Amino acid sequence: MSFWEWFTLIVGIIGILGFLMAIAPFIQMIYGKPKIEFDFSEKHSDDGTTIFECAIINPPIDNAILQTIGVTRNIALGTMAIVKIKEKRTGNKLYSDWVKLISGFGVATQRADLPSGYIPARFMVITVYEKTSEVYAGNKLTGEEALLPIGLYEVSIEVTVSGKVIRTLNRELMVQATQPLAYWVK
């Protein structure tokens, strides 16, 4: 083989290696973005109070091929959530506020960083007071609340990461005079 044939072969091999090295960061950019998932729960206390909570998580990559080439889920930096509640029938907005997220460390902040994994950031959506038969959106203790009368409501939860809306979820909430005072319709 002549010099130029060897040179072409070596340059070709270097080009293929460079291409293979560039694939992983490119795939990381596409599949490594934060992905927000929701989980709803109800916490009952001894004094007859029920808190409807929402937990948001940034789950890890579960695709075996992506894991093999080293793709990981990025941290969701500056995660914030806003809860909006409006009457389903009339569309009147009753409540809209940025909520405080309680991260895995137990600290309540409006902005949290969610690492890749199943450690959630939780926040309160509504509070049901059984003794007084009242349902509040927000936090009654801080004065940032709205009383929800009997009716059907649309609850919209918007999650932003680094100032960009990543995920929005809409659910219907029924408030009634009989037990249970509030429940998720869908």
What share of the chain has pLDDT > 70, as a percent?
97
Give 32-184's CATH code, choosing from 1.10.150.530, 1.10.1840.10, 2.40.50.140, 2.60.40.10: 2.60.40.10
Mean pLDDT across 57-73: 90
CB 112, CB 57: distance < 8 Å? no
Q: Supply angle C-alpha 124, 183, 157, rounded to 5.
A: 40
48-58 tens-digit pLDDT: 899 999 999 99
Q: Say if residue 83 is exposed, middle or buried (CB neighbours under 10 Å; 0-12, 13-18, 19+).
A: buried
Give the count of beta carbons closer than 10 Å to the beta carbon of residue 8: 12
Bridge partners of residue 145, in order along the sequence: 138
Q: Tell me the DSSP string of 39-54.
A: EEEEEE-TTSEEEEEE
- pLDDT at residue 61, as a whole number: 93
pLDDT class for 34, splitting at 50, 70, 90? very high
Pairing of strands 164-175, 151-161: antiparallel
Relative to beta strand 101-102, strand 93-98 is unpaired
**Tens digit of each residue's pLDDT (9 = 90 or more) over 68-89:** 888 899 999 999 999 999 999 9
